[in-house]
Structure 1
Amino acid sequence: MAPILKPNFYPENIPLAVSAFRLDGQVPVLNQQHFDGGQCRIFKVEFLDGESWAVRIPLHLQSDSQDAIINVLRDEQVVLQEIGKTTFAWAPKLHGSSFKFDNPVGYPFLALSWIEGSPLTWTADYPPRPVRDKVLAQIAEIQRSLIECTQNSNRGPATKYFSRVIDNKITRVRNGRLPDITEQDCLDQRSLLSRVLHPELENAPFAIDHGDLAPLNILVDSDYNITGVVDWGFASMVPLQLAGRMPRFLQLSEPTLPPDVTLQEDRKTYITSLEPQSSTSQITFWISLIHSPDDVDFRHCYLESLISKGMHFTLARLGWKLPNRERSKAAHRGSF
């Protein structure tokens, strides 16, 4: 992997740089703590009127191209601008941006509203129920709201979108940019596309998908009310069949069946929370359809393989099937 670019970086200049985005030109105070999340380092600045902003700087984005780093940040800005036009309540607001390395900070950045809260702690044992169920119900509402607020019906059929993704991957394989994946792996992947996609959703709307709805990116207060969702760097406008998948932490942690008992209970709560609030809730009906097949875990893994090189490699090596650990244990016991 290419080394991280290390140009001159001046965090002490962040307050002056972001003051340009305030109508009154007020220069904030830079909080001495910073937070690392995903591809970015996040700094907090505090204004005299009590307002706080988060400044996202992609210091951890690994690329040998300044343009590539800038484009990733531009994509995130486009997503946040689109969300900002809606009533979706859990994303930070965009205040301003700089897409240059020769600014006072020495690095491109986004200036966003600061969302109070702490990253959600989520393990198989914590939080306990009923707090666990409270969080899951909120996450279900967040996902439903994001799709409702950002749906776009003018993007074309789902099959065309996913076929283009696979075709682009084949081109990258031929150019030597995906050394762990073969062209046959991509052809096998394409042959399964019609089995995975729901024909009823072929022409359903596209919607923004967060891309990494994991506990680290979900902020909660002391009573486990979700205050916001952060790190929209992997978000994009995708077919509903991708946007409506279960959040990452409700998917299999490894491609092996069956899901453990806790995960099954969590999914049951999440799906129940998604049940239509009215008989006319089309979006909720579509999301429930995505979660209903018996082979939902394979479908989730397959869709993940379209955007994840690691999952593509893993599924290809498994012959595009998910092993069943219980059957494997039974077979092992029977051999003695």
Structure 2
Amino acid sequence: MFQHIKQTHPDIRAPSVFFKAEHPVLYSEWVTGKSLKVWNSQIPLYKRQTLLKDLAELLLQLWNTAVPPDFMPEQKPRYSAWLTESLDRGLRRTLTGTARWGDAIDYLIMRSMIPKYAGDYDKYTDVGFVHGDLKAYNIIKDDDFHLTGVVDWDWISVAPLPAVIH
């Protein structure tokens, strides 16, 4: 999936990934800069705006990449079903003791809210690409807070459009 995105948008701020069949290893292009790590109001406003502008450009490239038929799910999932499945993964991690956040009650409360908040979005049946693990540590920036790259594309997937942008 990621290779398709890089072919469609060669200038996307994400490292190229290389694979050699004779070696079971993926090689990633080096991304200069430092991990964002923390996002808060301690960062001057103009730096936050710079990074947000660059990140918005990357996300628009990602979201405007057509999903080829090979990557299309057999049935396009509804947003509420996708969200339920996502929360259930977190719930299972909580119940098995491998979660980093929350408890079962937190997940059950969020799950009970899905029909009210997500049901209206089920009518949007198109799908798009989603990074899957976009967090501060995976955003690489220079000292002036220009985005130099987004890394860790292991969880890239195809999801309903409301899930792609949520």
Q: Does the aligned pair in 2 maintain the 1:220–1:228 contact within 8 Å?
A: yes
Q: Does 1:129 align with 2:45?
A: yes
What residue is the counterpart of 1:92 in the other structure?
Answer: 15
Q: Specify every segment of 5 or more residues in structure 1 that has no aligned partner in the other structure, as ranges.
A: 1-78, 246-336
Asked whether the equivalents of residues 152 and 207 of structure 1 are also in contact (C-alpha less than 8 Å), the reply is: no
Corresponding residue of 2:79: 158
- How far the C-alpha of 1:132 sits from its partner, in A, is 1.5
SS of equivalent residue, structure 2 residue 140: strand
**Cα pair 1:92 1:230 within 8 Å, conserved:** yes
Q: How does 1:144-183 map to 2 (within 5 A)?
A: 144-151=60-67, 155=73, 156=76, 157-162=78-83, 165=85, 178-179=95-96
Aligned CA distance change for structure 1 residues 186 and 226 (closer, same or farther; 3 Å): closer
**Deviation of 1:152 (Å):** 6.6
3-state DSSP of counterpart to 1:219: strand
Q: Please say if 1:81 is aligned against 2:15.
A: no
Separation (CA, whole Å) in 2 of partners of 1:197 and 1:232: 26
Q: Is the 1:147–1:208 Cα contact (8 Å) retained in structure 2? A: yes
**Aligned counterpart, 1:195:** 116
Distance in 1 of aligned mates of 2:163 and 2:128:
9
Structure 1 residues 151-160 or 206-215, which shifts more? 151-160
Q: Secondary structure at the match of 2:64?
A: helix
- Higher RCO (Cα < 8 Å, 6 or more apart): 2
Please, which of 138, 148, 151 is the counterpart of residue 227 of structure 1?
Answer: 148
Q: How many residues align structurally? A: 153
Cα RMSD for the two superposed structures:
3.6
Normalising by structure 1, report the TM-score. Answer: 0.37
SS of residue paired to 1:227: strand
Task: From 86, 98, 109, give the equivalent of 2:25.
Answer: 109
Provide, for residues 168-197 of structure 1, a one-character-per-residue CA deviation record: whole Å limited to 9, x for no partner: 86xx96xxx944687x99887655332121
Which has the greater radius of gyration? 1
Distance of 1:121 and 1:85 partners within structure 2: 29
C-alpha displacement of 1:95: 2.0
Cα distance change of structure 1 residues 227 and 185 upon mapping to structure 2, 3 Å threshold: closer
Distance 1:136 1:226 in 2: 9
Indicate the percent of aligned positions where both proteins have the same amino acid: 25
The residue number in structure 2 matching 1:314 is: none
List alignment gaps of at least 5 residues for structure 2: 98-102
Secondary structure of 1:197's aligned partner: helix
Query: Once the two structures are superposed, what CA deviation does each residue of 1:221-241 show, in whole Å capped at 9, x if it has no partner?
Result: 233221211111232222222
Distance in 1, Cα, partners of 2:66 & 2:36: 25
Distance of aligned partners of 1:150 and 1:91 in 2 relative to their CA distance in 1, 3 Å threshold: farther
Distance of 1:113 and 1:179 partners within structure 2 = 36
**Pair 143,201 (structure 1): closer, same or farther in 2 beyond 3 Å:** farther
Q: Could you tell me which residue of structure 1 aligns to residue 58 of structure 2?
A: 142
